[in-house]
Structure 1
Amino acid sequence: MARHLPPLSYLRAFEATARLGSVTRAADELGRTHGAISKQLQLLQEQLGLPVFEKSGTGLRLNEDGAAFFATVSRAFDLLEERYQELKASRNEASVHLSCSATFAMVWLVPRLAEFYSLYPNCRVQLTMSSSARDGGTNQARDGMDIMLSWDRLSRPQFRREHIPLASVSFGLVSAPNYPFSANGDDFSFPTRISPDSLSEQWTNWQAATGHRISAQSELYFPHMYLCVSAAVSGLGVALVERRFALNELKSGKLVERSEFLTYENGFVAVIQPGRALSPAASHFLDWLRSAFVRE
C-alpha cells in the first residue's frame, strides 16, 4: 500500500520553523530563501487542511495541532538521524565533516589542507560553509557534522555548548596605508567603515571592550570577512577584522594596523555534539589544527 505522506521538504521546513520559531532562521539553516520556506509551510497546511502556526509578535508559534504534529515529526527525524549515523559509522570511513566560515576555509584552512593530508593520507575533510560571521548557521546535529569551528567572539562572546578551545582570536582596525584616518586619544574618525553581513554589533562590542569611540560617515557591507579585508586593501574604508585573516596583507604592507587588537584567549573553538565521541578522523584533525595554530 502506498504511503500517504507530504514531501520531505515540507516536513523539513515545518520542523525547522517550529524548532527555531522563525521562518527566516529556518531558511538560513536549510539554505533556502524565506519565500521558499513560507511556500512549503503554506502547501503543508493546505494538505493537512488546518493551520499549524499562529502569529507571535514578528515570529510564529505552534498552535495545539501544530505542537502535537511537531512532536511526532521531531521524533521521526531523531530516529532517522540516529540510524543514518549508525550506518555511516558502520562503513568505518576515515572522514571528518566540518562546518566553518567561508573566510576561515578560504584564507586559512584550504591552503594548508595538503599538510594535513600528508600526515593523514587516509583521512578526508568534508566542508560545509556556515554563515560568514555567525559560525554555524546550519544545525550541526541534524546535518551530521562532527565539528563546527567558531571564532567570531565579537558577535558571539560566549558559547554555552560543549566545545574544545583551540587558539586565541584578536580583533582590531586595519586599512590601506594611505587611507584617511584620524586618532584623537580614544576617538577614531574616518570616512567609511567596512562590516561583514550587516553585523554592526561587532563595532559596538569592540568599542565597549576597548573604550574607543568610532566616528564614520558611511558603512559598506560584504558577505564575508575575507571580502572585508580585500575591500580595505582596495582603499574602500577601515575594516574591523580578526588578525589571522589579514595577516598576509599586514606582513606585505598592503594593510596597516590602526588600533590595538582585542584578544579573546581560547576564543577559537571547536563545537562538538554533546555526548557523541569524536571519530578518529575528527580527533586527528583537531590535533593537527591545534598544533598548526601553535606553530603560527
Structure 2
Amino acid sequence: MKSFLPPLRALQAFEAFGRLGSVSSAAQELGVTSGAISQQLKVLEEHLGAQVVFKDGRRAALTPEARSYHEMIAIGFDRLRAAQDVWMQQQSGVDLKVSGVPTLLLKWLNPQLHHFQAMAADVPIRLEAAHAEPDPQMLGQMFRLTYGAVASRLPHSRPLFTDICFPVCAPEFLERHPEARSAEGLAGLPLIEIDWGPAYTGVPRWRDWFAARGVDPGPIKPIAVHSLSSLALEAAAGGQGVTLAQLSFASFDLQLGRLVRLSEDALRMPEPYYVCWGNSTLDQPNARAFLNWLINAARALPV
C-alpha cells in the first residue's frame, strides 16, 4: 500500500524543477545529476498516477495540472526554507534581528541605532529591509517595524508613533525659489510625488496638501513619482524639486541641513507605525532592552 504522501526526494526535485524551470538548474541547486532529477520526477508521476512533465519543444515543462499542484507544494518548501533561516540565525550569534519597511529602517532607525548600541555594547544586530510582511509563525526570532493595519496580523504589536507630513526641499533650491514657502508658490514649482501603491490610498499626497491649504493648483503633474519615500527625499536633497516628507523619514536630513522644512503646517498620516514581535522574541538576549529603547526613541519624535 502506497504512502499518502509521495517520497520527499521526489517532491523536492519537483519543487526545484517547477521553480527553476529546467532539469539542469534543479540538479545544480540540489547537488545531484540531471538524471537523478528526471528519475525523481518519474517516481512522483508513478505515485500520483499522472503525468507532471511534458516536452514543450526542446525543453521540459510542467503540465497545467502540475502547475497548480506545484504552487501548493512550493508553499511547504518555502516554510521549510524559512525555518532553516531561523535556525541558522539562532546559531550565527546574531542576538537581534529587525525587519522593517525600507525607508523606516534607513531614515529613522538606522541613524539613531548607535544610541542603543552604546547602551548594549557588543550586541550583534541584523537589519533586513523588506516590504513583504513576515510569516507570523516565523516572527519569533525578530522584530518587525511596519505601517498600518497589517500589524494586527502579527502575534504582538505596539504603536510607535503616528507621523506627520510637510513639504521639504534642498537649501539651494529654496534660495532659487523663495516662493516655495507658500502653498500658492509651491503650485508652480517642480513637485516630487510619493506613491506607495493602491493599498495605501489614504497616505497624504500633494493634492491633499493643497486641498488642506485651500489652494487649487490645477492639474498636478509631478516631475517624478517614487514608490520609496527615501528615493523622493534623495531627489529633493539633490535639488530636483519639493517633496511631501514624513517627519520620521526627514528628521536626520533636516538636522544635517540637507533638507529644509518649508511650512510648520502638517498633514497627519492616517495610521501609526508599529513594532511587532513573535511569541518567543522577548526570550532572546537583549530583546526586551531593545524594545524599551525603541519605544522611548519613538516618544522622542515630536509628532
Bin for the TM-score computed over the shorter chain: 0.5 to 0.7
CA distance in 2, matches of 1:224, 1:66: 34
Aligned counterparts, 1:10-49, within 5 A: 47=60, 49=62
Aligned counterparts, 1:57-72, within 5 A: 65-72=66-73
**Structure 2: 5+ residue stretches without partners:** 1-6, 22-52
Q: CA deviation at 1:194?
A: 1.0
**1:248-292 deviations in whole A, cap 9, x for unaligned?**
44454841323622234871211334x554343433322211112
Does the Cα contact within 8 Å between 2:168 and 2:242 map onto a contact in 1? yes
Does the Cα contact within 8 Å between 2:166 and 2:264 map onto a contact in 1? yes
Q: CA deviation at 1:209?
A: 11
* Matching residue of 2:224: 220
Per the alignment, do residues 13 and 242 of structure 1 end up closer, same or farther by CA in structure 2, a change over 3 Å counting?
farther
Give the paired residue count: 244
User: Could you tell me which of 135, 146, 151 is aligned with 1:150?
Assistant: 146
User: Could you tell me which of 161, 169, 187 is aligned with 2:163?
Assistant: 169
CA distance in 1, matches of 2:247, 2:97: 26
Greater RCO, CA 8 A, separation 6+: 2
CA distance in 1, matches of 2:145, 2:245: 17
Q: Would you say 1:195 and 2:193 are equivalent positions? A: yes
* Matching residue of 2:132: 137
**1:149-204 deviations in whole A, cap 9, x for unaligned?**
124xxxx57644232212231112223434344535xx961332213467595455
Q: What's the RMSD between the two structures over aligned residues?
A: 4.4
* Matching residue of 2:30: none
TM-score, scaled relative to structure 1: 0.62
Q: Would you say 1:229 and 2:251 are equivalent positions? A: no
CA distance in 2, matches of 1:72, 1:245: 40
Per the alignment, do residues 236 and 139 of structure 1 end up closer, same or farther by CA in structure 2, a change over 3 Å counting?
same
TM-score, scaled relative to structure 2: 0.60
Per the alignment, do residues 170 and 109 of structure 1 end up closer, same or farther by CA in structure 2, a change over 3 Å counting?
same
Aligned counterparts, 1:1-296, within 5 A: 3-4=9-10, 5-6=12-13, 47=60, 49-52=62-65, 65-79=66-80, 81-82=82-83, 85=86, 89=90, 91=91, 93=93, 95-130=95-130, 136-137=131-132, 139-140=134-135, 146-151=142-147, 159-162=151-154, 163-176=157-170, 177-178=174-175, 179=177, 180-181=179-180, 183=183, 189-196=187-194, 199=197, 201=201, 202-204=203-205, 207=208, 211-212=212-213, 215=218, 216-222=220-226, 224-250=228-254, 252=257, 254-258=259-263, 260-264=265-269, 267-273=272-278, 275=279, 277-280=281-284, 281-296=286-301
Per the alignment, do residues 7 and 44 of structure 1 end up closer, same or farther by CA in structure 2, a change over 3 Å counting?
farther
CA distance in 2, matches of 1:2, 1:230: 49
Per the alignment, do residues 221 and 269 of structure 1 end up closer, same or farther by CA in structure 2, a change over 3 Å counting?
same
Per the alignment, do residues 106 and 73 of structure 1 end up closer, same or farther by CA in structure 2, a change over 3 Å counting?
closer
Does the Cα contact within 8 Å between 1:191 and 1:217 map onto a contact in 2? no
CA distance in 2, matches of 1:9, 1:71: 13
Larger radius of gyration: 2
Does the Cα contact within 8 Å between 1:232 and 1:255 map onto a contact in 2? no
- Greater helix proportion: 2
**1:26-59 deviations in whole A, cap 9, x for unaligned?**
xxxxxxxxxxxxxxxx99996564125xxxxxxx
Q: CA deviation at 1:222?
A: 4.2
- Greater strand proportion: 1
